[in-house]
Amino acid sequence: MTYLALIHGAKGIQYFVRVPPMGHPKSPRLWSECQRLALEIAELTPFLLSPTPSPPVRCTPESIHVYSWTWKGRTLVLAANTLNRPQLLRLHLKGRRYEGPVSCLFENRSVLSQWGMLEETLEAFGTRAYVFPLGPLPPEKRSIHPDNLVFNPSFEEFSNVGTPDGCYFYMGKEDLASTGFLDSRVSVHGHHSLRLTTASKGQGIRVRPYRMQLKEGRTYRAILWAKGLQQHLSFEINFDGIGIPSQSFPLSTEWSPYTLTGKVSKTERHQMTFRLSDQGTAWFDLLQVYPLD
């Protein structure tokens, strides 16, 4: 129902839920599905609200409904099977003969488009979200350093929608209202940033990327791009083992780089954490650590 609403022109979805998760509806599975779809629609938001014209999409059979949107050189196609039985979906974008891999969002896989045609089986009442890299893709203004040691530095990889791969989230029991989500609307590199919202000053989610193996005696630089939604916000970075104590940086409302530089005192698995320490919302992107010498 949600995908059909989007395909036929809806620009927003609001579910009728009185007291989740057990008030109305009384189904934990249905409430979980509402949560999952909320994350998927958040990921699709830039496409759904894009003013860029998109090539028409055609599909057979007619009982599978489709529509397309284009944003920054990529074309999203949503498909929904309206029958309670599997069907063979065949779709193509009018005037485009793209040949190559097509990403299946939320499924961690891709399918191959050949001669401008994409074909696969769509399960009963099934849905798909395909992304065609038709181009032209906007050039990246910033790049990843060739010696970067941080896994998934610009938060582009996510096995679970809304949550970046390659890092841990930590928070205290007193700060369960704080949140951390991938944001597909704003970034300085790639298509995503990490949006942190802190509910109480001095609390906030601590983000810890996977540990890195640094070499004793070498000098390293850590650089993180960030911006705040409001004025007078600050965030903290802590990087064990490079001789620098935890530092706090005031945030601008425009994307800016923030750096730490230090020499490794001993060989170990070094750990970095950062968090938004003031009440408010901020975005973080392109976290890198690399040797200077």
Count other C-beta atoms under 10 Å from residue 166's C-beta: 14
Residue 183 pLDDT grade (very low, low, confident, very high; cuts 50, 70, 90): very high
Count other C-beta atoms under 10 Å from residue 181's C-beta: 18
Q: Identify the pLDDT of residue 28.
A: 79
- Note the pLDDT tens digit of each residue in 185-229: 999 999 999 999 999 888 899 999 998 888 888 899 999 999 999
Q: 12: phi > 0 → left, psi -120 to 50 → alpha, else beta; which? A: beta
Q: What percent of the chain has pLDDT over 70?
A: 94
Question: What distance in Å separates the CA atoms of residue 140 and residue 270, rounded to the nearest whole number?
Answer: 30
Domain boundaries, the chain: 2-132, 167-291
Pick the CATH number of 2-132 from 3.40.190.10, 2.60.40.1180, 3.40.50.2300, 2.30.110.10: 2.60.40.1180
Cβ-contact 196, 275 below 8 angstroms = yes
Is residue 287's pLDDT more than 80?
yes
- Note the pLDDT tens digit of each residue in 1-52: 999 999 999 988 888 766 666 666 677 788 889 889 999 999 999 999 999 9
Measured at the CA of 133, the angle between CA 130 and CA 137, to 5 degrees, comes to 140
Residue 67 pLDDT grade (very low, low, confident, very high; cuts 50, 70, 90): very high
Peptide bond into 209 cis (omega under 30): no
Q: Which architecture, in CATH terms, is 167-291?
A: Sandwich (2.60)
Give the end-to-end CA distance of the chain in Å, rounded to a whole number.
56
